[in-house]
Amino acid sequence: MSRIWDISQPLHTAVPVWPGEPAFALHSHAVIGDGCPVNVGGMFTPLHAGTHGDAPLHYANDGASSADCELDAYIGPCVLLDVRHARGRVEIADIDWDAIEGSERVLLRTYECFPHDQWDSDFTAIASDVIARLGAMGVRLIGTDAASLDPEQSKTLDAHQAVKAADMRILEGLVLDDVPPGRYELVALPLRIVGADASPVRAILREIA
């Protein structure tokens, strides 16, 4: 059996969310007891909390929603790169371009230690020319352990726009602390939520035999 790394954040009430967004919540609608044979819960989640995939609808009004996204970008071979040396933003010079050659999915590790307990406003963004170059190389999915490809305060979302131009897909909020850089099989499927601009994913990396 090949090893599986779970690279998803646990979803719970304290999962960090974008400033101003409501907290994730799990509700209990029924509990096992007299006359009730089951526990039944429900949940609320901001769509960009935790480990999630942005749908094209997030950055374009005519973009596909999570229900309409084709799934092939979210499953298949990928390469994980360590870019912890990047400062502020991942730039062209921070990337080992030879390591990416031929890979359709690229995940970038920016954190020394993923901030599970508080929102980090100073996460490491990705320069839009990095996205454009990945797109030109045939990369179809970019993933990061940061909360977003663009800086928290960005109003232009340049990296998201470069993703749109190259018709790539995005994973954000991955937990990559325990995974050595290298090549893996990625599985991270968005839920089929009609009209959603993003969706939680259960993201895993599988060791390639």
Ligand X SMILES: Nc1ccccc1C(=O)C[C@H](N)C(=O)O
d(CA 174, CA 201): 10
Instruction: Please calculate the CA angle 111-112-118 and round it to the nearest 5 degrees.
Output: 65
How many residues bind ligand X, per CB under 6 A? 9
Question: Distance between the two ends of the chain, CA-based, in angstroms?
Answer: 9
> Of 6, 21, 68, 185, which lies in the binding site for ligand X, with binding defined by CB under 6 A?
21
Q: Kindly indicate which of the ranges 53-61, 69-77, 100-108, 116-124 contains the residues binding Zn ion, using the contact rule CB under 5 A.
A: 53-61
Q: Tell whether residue 18 is among the known ligand binding residues.
A: yes
Strand 198-200 to 52-54 pairing? antiparallel
| 48 near ligand X, rule: CB under 6 A | yes
Q: Which is nearer to Zn ion, 100 or 174 (CB)?
A: 174
Q: Which helix (H) or strand (E) holds 160?
A: helix 158-166
Q: Which one of Zn ion, ligand X, none interacts with residue 79, CB within 5 to 8 A by kind?
A: none
Residue that the structure tokens 């089951």 belong to = 38
Q: Kindly indicate which of the ranges 35-43, 65-73, 103-111, 146-154 contains the residues binding ligand X, using the contact rule CB under 6 A.
A: 146-154
- Look up residue 47 and give its amino acid: L
| 97 near ligand X, rule: CB under 6 A | no
Q: Which is nearer to Zn ion, 46 or 181 (CB)?
A: 46
Q: Spell out the residues 6+ positions from residue 20 whose beta carbon is closer than 8 angstroms to its own.
A: none
Burial label for 144, CB within 10 Å (0-12, 13-18, 19+), is buried
Q: Spell out the residues 6+ positions from residue 33 whose beta carbon is closer than 8 angstroms to its own.
A: none
85 is catalytic: no
Contact pattern for ligand X over residues 50 through 89, marking x by CB under 6 A: ----x---x-------------------------------
Q: Which one of Zn ion, ligand X, none interacts with residue 124, CB within 5 to 8 A by kind?
A: none
**Which residues bind to Zn ion, rule: CB under 5 A?**
48, 54, 148, 172, 198
Active site residues: 58
**Which residues bind to ligand X, rule: CB under 6 A?**
18, 21, 48, 54, 58, 147-148, 150, 172
